Amino acid sequence: MWTDAPATEPSILVDRPTALVDDAIAITLRGFPPRQPVTISAVQAFPSSTRYRAEATFISDDRGMVDVSTQAPVDGTYDGLSPMGLFWSAERLPGEAHRPAEDSIMWLRSVDLEASGPWGAHAELTLERRVAGPGVTRQVVRAEGVVGTLFLPPALGPHPTVLVLSGGGGGVDEHWGAILASHGYAALSLGYFNAPGLPRGLVDIPLEYFEKAIRWMRRQPWLRDHFLAVYGPSRGGELALLLGATFADINAVAAWVPSGVLFWALGRPEPDGPGSGAAWTFRGRPLPYLQENNPYAGIAPAEAAHGQPVAWAPAYLEHLKDGDAVERATIPVENIQGPVLLVSGSDDQLWPSSALADIAMRRLEAHDFAFPFRHLRYEGAGHLIKVPYGPLTARVSGLDVEGFAGKLCSHGGTAKADAAAGADAWRSQLTFLEEASAGRRSRR
């Protein structure tokens, strides 16, 4: 028998039972015993059959209510006030494997909410989350040597368009493409290595490949001569700045946890390739990179204990001590023909993205860059600044490439700091793209 029993049955209320994955959800619990602990769990089921679980315990108010958006939990997988903590703090359930289907980005994701309190008080609710919103279409692209996936919004084109680049793992980043299309942009998620029909490593990748992709995009009815931005994270952020500095057809650049200086190759060269040590080539020549003829380039992270993650950022900071090497490999970002947005985390341990982004900022400032440019530097965040609000509890990763094989790499930061950074940076990026697109229209 409850004391001060509420007048209503226990229930979970949300403002958006079906929403995009980057939408924040307001969750309220009602009808629970007043001034008692109430635990709510959230199990996210991804189309890959992978499930993640988070939970938090709150103290209900005098009316038997809990407002997850305005209350901090007293226990759980996250602490402090965080309206979306039940999403970003979720951990993969034991035994769950990642087995994505080819078109799984288009499928609904379910989130099962379950709340329990004293004396059998219980409520359940299932949410639906989408990466691709209603009407977004997905098309595999294998045309004229271009490898990728095209996402189009439901409205008729032409559309403002974003060329989406993957990071140091390669492949085709469909997540960014689908969510951008859900916000009204045509998006080509372009592969450039580690995908069928492409080089296996980030080694001697010709910029002519991207030039060909841009020309192909400009011929399509969904783009034509309209606004074209390029986005990339990590090594893709380095590439986004490089492409913007090289090809005038690009009208804006957004680079997350990037580098303003070119880095060395990553992985194995092709059997018939030159194996120059460079990541990028242009007009048949390898582009200079930071570690080339750099006396500090031999410095690598100290070996960590077995199974412990390795932080590469300190070693890369040593590489930056060679001023001549930095100057040779710095991207001429002043040549970019549009606004620039940089995003970094101050505790990035995969590479020092804040310091690397500052190289680009200093160059833009020194050349009195004619377009708006901004560096969003998030204190305490690491390398995993992403589209909100997915799970961020995997803080290390392995790279199956030469020089990294068998090693776990630390991303730095914390799940909480990266979640806050991702939410703010994503809102800023959508504003950036909207303003850049409008600016492009006004100049035409």
> DSSP secondary structure string, 211-244?
HHHHHHHHTSTTTTTS-EEEEEETHHHHHHHHHH
Q: Are 424 and 376 in contact, with CB atoms under 8 Å apart?
A: yes
Dig out the tokens for 104 from the structure. Answer: 């799984």
Between β-strands 122-130 and 18-20, what pairing exists: parallel, antiparallel or unpaired? parallel
Domains and CATH numbers, the chain: 11-130 (2.60.40.2240), 137-443 (3.40.50.1820)
Q: How far apart are CA 155 and CA 68, in angstroms?
A: 35
Q: What is the pLDDT of residues 151-181, one digit of tens each?
A: 999 988 899 999 999 999 999 999 999 999 9
Half-sphere exposure (Cβ direction) of 338: Cα atoms closer than 13 Å: 30
SS3 427: helix
DSSP3 helix / strand / coil % (the chain, rounded to 5): 25, 25, 50
Regions of the chain short of the pLDDT cut 50: 1-3
| 180, amino acid identity | L
CA angle 257, 261, 263 (to 5 degrees): 85
Provide the pLDDT for residue 151. 98
Q: How far apart are CA 17 and CA 368, in angstroms?
A: 48
Provide the pLDDT for residue 305. 60
CA angle 147, 149, 153 (to 5 degrees): 150
Provide the pLDDT for residue 391. 95
Provide the pLDDT for residue 309. 85
Q: What is the pLDDT of residues 56-81, one digit of tens each?
A: 999 999 999 999 999 999 999 999 99
CA–chain centroid gap for 430, Å, is: 13
Provide the pLDDT for residue 210. 98
Provide the pLDDT for residue 48. 75
Contacts of 94 (CB under 8 A, 6+ apart): none
What is the value of pTM for the model shown?
Answer: 0.94
Provide the pLDDT for residue 3. 47
| Residue ranges with strand state E in 16-145 | 18-20, 27-30, 37-45, 51-59, 66-67, 75-76, 91-92, 109-116, 122-130, 137-143
For residue 278, what is the DSSP state? B
Provide the pLDDT for residue 1. 39
Provide the pLDDT for residue 267. 86
